[in-house]
Structure 1
Amino acid sequence: MTTSSWVPGAAGSGYDVDHLPYAVFTTAEDDEPRVGVRIGGLVLDVAPVAAAEMLDVAALFEQPTLNPLMAAGPQVWASVRTWLTQLLTDEAERELVEPHLVALDEVTTRLGFEVADYVDFLCGKQHAENAGRIFRPDSEPLGANFTSLPIGYHGRAGTVVVTGTPIARPSGQRPSREGPTFGPTRRLDLEAELGFVVGTPSATPVGTGALADHVFGVTLLNDWSARDIQAWESQPLGPFLGKSFGVSVSDWITPLAALEPAKVALPAQDPPPLDYLVVEDPRPGYDVEVEVILNGEVVSRPPYRVMYWSPAQMLAHLTSNGATLRTGDLFGSGTISGDEREQRGCLLELSWGGREPFTAGGVERSWLEDGDEVTLRATAPGASGGRIALGEVTGRIEPATSQR
Structure 2
Amino acid sequence: MHPNDPSLRSFVEVVPSSDFPIQNLPYGVFSTAATPSPRVGVAIGKFVLDLSEMERAGKLGEGLSDVFASPSVNPFMAFGPVAWTETRARISALLRHDNPELRDDTALRERALIPLEKAKLHLPLAVSGYTDFYSSREHATNVGVMFRGKDNALQPNWLHMPIGYNGRASTVVVSGTEVLRPHGQLKPPSADVPWFGPCKRLDFELEIGVVIGQSSRMGERLTECQAEAMIFGFVLLNDWSARDIQQWEYVPLGPFQAKAFATSISPWIVTREALEPFRLHGPAQEPEPLAYLRQTKANNYDLRLEVGLRAARMKDYVTISNTNFKYMYWSSVQQLVHHASSGCTMNVGDLLGSGTISGSEKHQRGSLLEIGWNGTEPVELAEHTRRTFLEDGDSVNILGFCQGDGYRIGFGSVEGTIVAS
Of 68, 73, 93, the match for 1:66: 73
Of 214, 217, 224, the match for 1:200: 214
Q: What are the superposed Cα offsets for residues 343-388 of structure 1, whole Å, 9 maximum, x if unpaired?
A: 1000000010111112112322100000000011111134x55321
Q: Distance in 2 between matches of 1:381 and 1:147?
A: 30
Q: Does the 8 Å CA contact 1:65/1:112 hold for their aligned counterparts?
A: yes
Residue number in structure 1 paired with 2:247: 231
Q: Distance in 2 between matches of 1:10 and 1:297?
A: 25
Report the 3-state secondary structure (helix = DSSP H, G, I; strand = E; otherwise coil) of the residue aligned with 1:242.
helix
Residue number in structure 2 paired with 1:369: 391
Q: Distance in 2 between matches of 1:381 and 1:275?
A: 33
Q: Distance in 1 between matches of 2:336 and 2:278?
A: 19
Q: Does 1:209 align with 2:214?
A: no
Residue number in structure 2 paired with 1:379: 401
Of 76, 88, 101, the match for 1:81: 88
Residue number in structure 1 paired with 2:328: 307
Closer, same or farther in 2 for the Cα pair 1:11/1:300, shift >3 Å?
A: closer
- Deviation above 4 Å: which 4+ runs of structure 1? none
Q: Does 1:95 align with 2:104?
A: yes
1:98 CA displacement = 2.3
Q: Distance in 2 between matches of 1:156 and 1:164?
A: 19
Q: Does 1:396 align with 2:412?
A: no
Q: What are the superposed Cα offsets for residues 47-89 of structure 1, whole Å, 9 maximum, x if unpaired?
A: 2222323621251111111110111100000000000110011
Q: Distance in 2 between matches of 1:298 and 1:189?
A: 16
Q: Does 1:268 align with 2:275?
A: no
Residue number in structure 1 paired with 2:268: 252
1:12 CA displacement = 6.1
Q: Does the 8 Å CA contact 1:10/1:39 hold for their aligned counterparts?
A: no
Q: Does the 8 Å CA contact 2:144/2:150 hold for their aligned counterparts?
A: no
- List runs of 5+ in structure 1 lacking aligned partners: none
Q: Distance in 2 between matches of 1:189 and 1:371?
A: 13
Q: Distance in 2 between matches of 1:143 and 1:168?
A: 32
- Range moving further from structure 2, 250-259 or 356-365: 356-365
Q: Does the 8 Å CA contact 2:43/2:49 hold for their aligned counterparts?
A: yes
Q: Does 1:23 align with 2:28?
A: yes
Closer, same or farther in 2 for the Cα pair 1:385/1:270, shift >3 Å?
A: farther
1:29 CA displacement = 0.7
- Range moving further from structure 2, 222-231 or 386-395: 386-395
Q: Distance in 2 between matches of 1:292 and 1:11?
A: 22
CA RMSD across the alignment: 1.4
Residue number in structure 1 paired with 2:296: 280
Q: What are the superposed Cα offsets for residues 100-158 of structure 1, whole Å, 9 maximum, x if unpaired?
A: 11100001111011100000000000000000011112641111111100000000110
**Residue identity opposite 2:100 in structure 1:** A
Q: Distance in 1 between matches of 2:149 and 2:37?
A: 55
1:10 CA displacement = 5.2
Q: Does the 8 Å CA contact 2:21/2:408 hold for their aligned counterparts?
A: no
Q: Does the 8 Å CA contact 1:289/1:302 hold for their aligned counterparts?
A: yes
Q: Distance in 1 between matches of 2:174 and 2:141?
A: 30
Residue number in structure 2 paired with 1:330: 351
Of 137, 144, 148, the match for 1:125: 137
Q: Does the 8 Å CA contact 1:11/1:40 hold for their aligned counterparts?
A: no
Q: Does 1:349 align with 2:349?
A: no
Closer, same or farther in 2 for the Cα pair 1:218/1:138, shift >3 Å?
A: closer
Q: Does 1:180 align with 2:202?
A: no
Q: Distance in 1 between matches of 2:26 and 2:283?
A: 28
Closer, same or farther in 2 for the Cα pair 1:11/1:352, shift >3 Å?
A: closer
- List runs of 5+ in structure 2 lacking aligned partners: 311-316
Residue number in structure 1 paired with 2:313: none
Q: TM-score, normalised by structure 2?
A: 0.92
Of 365, 380, 396, the match for 1:359: 380
Percentage of pairs with the same residue: 43
- Range moving further from structure 2, 361-370 or 88-97: 88-97
Q: Does the 8 Å CA contact 2:207/2:355 hold for their aligned counterparts?
A: yes
Q: Distance in 2 between matches of 1:33 and 1:358?
A: 40
Q: What are the superposed Cα offsets for residues 178-212 of structure 1, whole Å, 9 maximum, x if unpaired?
A: 32121111100000000001111111222222233
Q: Distance in 2 between matches of 1:341 and 1:134?
A: 14
Q: Distance in 2 between matches of 1:8 and 1:139?
A: 55
Residue number in structure 2 paired with 1:292: 307
Report the 3-state secondary structure (helix = DSSP H, G, I; strand = E; otherwise coil) of the residue aligned with 1:376.
strand
